[in-house]
Amino acid sequence: MAAFNRGIENEILISNYARALHHREADIALRNFRPTDTKLVARKIRDERVHLYATPAYLECLGNPTTLGDLSRANYLGFNRAPDLREHLNSLGLTLTPLNFPVLTENHLMLWELVKQGAGNGLMMESVGDAEPGVQRVLSEIEPFLMPKWFVSRREVQTSRRVRVVFDMVWEGLGGGRG
């Protein structure tokens, strides 16, 4: 990615909270969902393959689970209070309750660090999780989750040169829809 332009202020916020772009809380956002607001411009980057990961030591504490049923007593690290992950895992055959989610965060980096420290199972993109030597996929036969990645901006991106320059630079750095 090219160096940041000194004439443009860049503030990077990492959160699962969807900033209200039309209220100018941000100019550009990466989202895991396609926005429905017609005042926004959205480009799909790609679908990311996401898996559950944990440390070998954590899995050993669980008795090295070999079935989905074995994972029903595990701790999971989740985002916010949304039940989406729990509901999806239960649809695969687990029986999880909110008690299986002792730690919730809005920060992907915090969640990933907790997974690497052995606090429980957590989701991560395949490209990051498979490259981390201290963790492994939890039950590799679980089909990956497909997580859409959308690049979003206000319609102003079409009329503001400053916003457009940053939008195009980040889009290119993200792979511009390749992958």
Q: Write down the pLDDT at residue 175.
A: 74
Is the predicted pLDDT of residue 138 greater than 90, yes or no?
yes
Task: Give residue-wise pLDDT tens across range 59-102.
Answer: 999 999 998 889 999 999 987 766 788 888 899 888 999 899 98
* Cα–Cα dist 68/139, whole Å: 8
Residue 161 pLDDT grade (very low, low, confident, very high; cuts 50, 70, 90): confident
Is 92 a domain residue?
yes
How many distinct structural domains can be found in the chain?
A: 1
pTM of the shown model: 0.78
Select from 161, 151, 162, 154 the least CA-distant residue to 9: 162
Is the predicted pLDDT of residue 172 greater than 90, yes or no?
no
Is 43 a domain residue?
no
* Cα–Cα dist 117/111, whole Å: 10
* Cα–Cα dist 146/144, whole Å: 6
Per-residue pLDDT, averaged over 8-16, amounts to 57
Is 59 a domain residue?
yes
Kindly state the tokens that stand for 69: 């049923």
Is 36 a domain residue?
no
Where b means 16+ CB within 10 Å and e means fewer, 123-154 reads bbbeeebeeeeebbbbbeebebbeeebbbbbb
Per-residue pLDDT, averaged over 110-132, amounts to 95
Neighbours of 72 (CB within 10 A): 16
* Cα–Cα dist 153/174, whole Å: 15
Residue range of the domain that includes 99: 48-146
Q: Write down the pLDDT at residue 24.
A: 65
Residue 57 pLDDT grade (very low, low, confident, very high; cuts 50, 70, 90): very high
Is 69 a domain residue?
yes
Mean pLDDT, the chain, whole residue set:
82
DSSP state of 53: E
Is 165 a domain residue?
no
| Residue 96 exposed, middle or buried by CB count within 10 Å (0-12, 13-18, 19+) | buried
DSSP state of 142: S
The percentage of the chain sitting over the pLDDT mark of 70, rounded to a whole number, equals 82
Select from 28, 31, 65 the least CA-distant residue to 46: 31
Per-residue pLDDT, averaged over 159-167, amounts to 78
| Alpha carbons within 13 A on the beta-carbon side of 45 | 22
- Among 20-34, 112-126, 159-173, the range scoring the smallest mean pLDDT is 20-34
Q: Write down the pLDDT at residue 78.
A: 85
Residue 2 pLDDT grade (very low, low, confident, very high; cuts 50, 70, 90): very low
Is the predicted pLDDT of residue 16 greater than 70, yes or no?
no
Is 63 a domain residue?
yes
CATH (domain of 95): 3.40.190.10
Is 102 a domain residue?
yes
* Cα–Cα dist 150/29, whole Å: 8
What Rg value do the Cα atoms of the chain yield, rounded? 19
Select from 145, 124, 131 the least CA-distant residue to 53: 124
Q: Write down the pLDDT at residue 112.
A: 95
Higher pLDDT, 118 or 68: 118
